[in-house]
Chain A
């Protein structure tokens, strides 16, 4: 694809939306990757020959998926309000979560994943414990299991510190001009289980159901989900792209994937392509980590700070 003019880049040639090309120069499109590979690395006089374009397309997409899971560091964020059933439906391109937070009063509260089960399916049973079926032989299920209902209605006990009992409940304090003041706790809390020492609401992801289930503290609160996708852009080929720093790696990945699965390719050639792929991934990751003096300086400024 030809390079964009400044007018195309900044103003999308006057078309709407104006911002469609902003930052696009960082990326190479999937079509370009496949086209370049077929042109440069596949052919009669190349290591890779007698290969179909759809095979290259498959490996290119797989490479992009793998890169999206960790190396790209392209985290998407979605803000949704948690409904009355304390659920947050996972986005359509969700693959894995990075961080889940509550956004309240202008502050982002990172939430903790609940180590206990907070949701379960249930079957209807008669008094003797026999499972009930409908006329077509399907098991009858209630809308909510007891566990779910307890969580939704706020009756589920929590092992998390003060989650259901705000930490100053029942504690003596002073009300001054509408605000409560308490004595400052002095000394350490021996025996505190740090894993559960968090007063924010908790969550647990039900992958099969495709929802995040929250504890009752999240009722009607705003939730921020930071997650990674696989970069397939819901099948929109024109939107699939790869950062240019990984372009060479993607070619190497495709070459390796093809050669390693091809009959009659000498093992030393397969090994060479594997090493090349691994080295390029390492290089690309280092480049993406973007270590430069400006960033290091900010962190190092705190090195002489006294810990209280």
Chain B
């Protein structure tokens, strides 16, 4: 899909033969565009649920939530978390949204809790965390831990603090999409030609139906880059129309 997107983008901006963007620039814009659209999915799901609750959504082929969730689910992955120290565990560095944390010995879900609540909860008789109802707090890793080689910027502290085992905690999370990379071979005349077999090649991870949105998004960035107002306006108008159609 990435080559098709690039060709479309180039075709649109190549007005008067000065609208060329380099592969490096395209890759940067492509990454931003993909992240933007990826994040939009979560808001779309929320809007769709609001519609469902207002009885403005259908089932079967009209079940838009299902379609949106399928896309997000394609980024769902799991990993056993490595222990940082005591009851702290590393969060995977590609984690966008920590969906479920699991206490492996019993398979129960570890519930996320805000920092401001955990002290009250651990002091509570009725709600103190137990291995049957464990809790976790999401925290940033200290600078000293990063210096010591921590690969992740975040960690989770699991309660009760007796949960310390190396393989006690697993995460089921939504990862970030991988950075798209349009790879190429340089021909003798300096023209880059698409090379899908390169080791670092990475296509977009969004579904094919998002190709128009990707083109529009990249055009916005590219238009700004080459200071072509028409391209930016075209991108903005297309995006607005798409948003209206989806509502």
Contacts and interface: CB of A to CB of B under 8 A. Distances in A.
Interface residues of A, number: 15
A203 to B, nearest CB: 29
Given A54-B111, A58-B127, A61-B126, A31 B49 contact: no
A237 B132 contact: yes
Given A52-B111, A54-B121, A238 B135 contact: no
Contact of A57 (B49, B53, B127): B127
A45 B53 contact: yes
B97 interface: no
A57 B132 CA distance: 11
Nearest to B114: A52
A52 B113 contact: yes
Contacts, number: 35
Nearest to B135: A54
Interface string B106-125: 00110101000000010001
A285 to B, nearest CB: 24
A203 B111 CA distance: 48
A216 to B, nearest CB: 38
A149 B78 CA distance: 69
A44 B111 CA distance: 17
Interface in A44-68: 44-45, 52-54, 57-58, 61-62
Given A52-B111, A54-B135, A57-B133, A62 B52 contact: no
Nearest to B49: A44
B126 A237 contact: no
Contacts of A53: 109, 111, 133
A31 B106 CA distance: 12
A236 B121 CA distance: 17
A61 B125 CA distance: 11
- Number of chain B interface residues as a range: 10 to 19
Contacts of B93: none
Contacts of B132: 31, 237-238
Contact of A44 (B52, B108, B125, B135): B52
A34 B111 contact: no
A238 B130 CA distance: 10
B52 A34 contact: no
A232 to B, nearest CB: 8
Interface in B107-163: 108-109, 111, 113, 121, 125-127, 130, 132-133, 135
B127 A54 contact: yes
Nearest to B126: A61
A58 B125 CA distance: 10
Contacts of B109: 53
A45 B130 contact: no
A58 B113 contact: no
Contacts of A62: 126
A34 B133 contact: yes
Interface in A194-239: 232, 235, 237-238
Interface of B: 49, 52-53, 108-109, 111, 113, 121, 125-127, 130, 132-133, 135
Given A44-B49, A53-B111, A238-B132, 16 more contacts: A31-B108, A31-B133, A34-B133, A44-B53, A45-B49, A45-B52, A45-B53, A52-B111, A53-B109, A54-B121, A54-B127, A54-B135, A58-B126, A61-B127, A232-B126, A237-B130
9 contacts: A31-B108, A31-B132, A45-B49, A52-B111, A53-B109, A54-B133, A54-B135, A58-B126, A237-B132
